Amino acid sequence: MASHRRPKQPSRARVTVLTAAAATAVALSAQVSAHAAPAKPNKDEVKAQVDKLLDEQEQAAEKYNGAKEKADQLRKQADQLQDQVARGQERLNEVSSGLAAVAGDQYRQGGIDPSVRLMLSSDPDGYLSQASSFDQAASTQAETLKSLEDQQRRLSQQKQEAAAVLAELDSSTQALNDAKNEVKSKLEEAQSLLNTLSAADRLSITQGGGTASRGADRVDLSNLPQAGGYAGVAVSKALGKRGAPYVWGATGPGSFDCSGLMVWAYAQAGVSLPRTSQAQGSVGASVGTDWHNAQPGDLVVYYGDRHHVGMYIGGGMVVHAPHTGDVVKTMPVDAMPISTIRRV
User: Cβ atoms within 10 A of the Cβ of 5, count?
Assistant: 5
| Nearest CA-CA partner of 329 in 248, 200, 210, 213 | 213
Res. 216: pLDDT tops 50? no
In a domain, 190, yes or no: yes
| Nearest CA-CA partner of 46 in 198, 169, 256 | 198
The single residue of 4, 258, 292, 323 carrying the catalytic annotation is: 258
* Catalytic-residue membership of 320: yes
* Catalytic-residue membership of 258: yes
Res. 131: pLDDT tops 90? no
pLDDT of residue 149: 77
The single residue of 4, 35, 307, 320 carrying the catalytic annotation is: 320
pLDDT of residue 32: 45
pLDDT in tens, 230-282: 999 999 999 999 999 999 999 999 999 999 999 999 999 999 999 999 999 99
pLDDT of residue 150: 80
Looking at the fold, whether 108 and 176 belong to one and the same domain comes out as: yes
pLDDT interval class at 42 (50, 70, 90): confident
Looking at the fold, whether 175 and 237 belong to one and the same domain comes out as: no
C-alpha–C-alpha distance, residues 310 and 260, integer Å: 10
C-alpha–C-alpha distance, residues 141 and 102, integer Å: 7
The single residue of 292, 307, 308, 323 carrying the catalytic annotation is: 308
Q: Nearest 5°: phi and psi at 315?
A: 65, 25
The CATH number given to whatever domain includes residue 139 is 1.10.287
* Catalytic-residue membership of 307: no
Q: Residue 317 is part of which domain span?
A: 220-343
Amino acid at 274: P
| Residue % of the chain over a pLDDT of 70 | 72
C-alpha dihedral (321, 325, 326, 328), degrees to nearest 10: 40
Looking at the fold, whether 70 and 181 belong to one and the same domain comes out as: yes
Looking at the fold, whether 63 and 109 belong to one and the same domain comes out as: yes
How many CA atoms are closer than 13 Å to the CA of 315, on its beta-carbon side? 17
In a domain, 204, yes or no: no
Can you give the pTM of this predicted structure?
Answer: 0.67
In a domain, 334, yes or no: yes
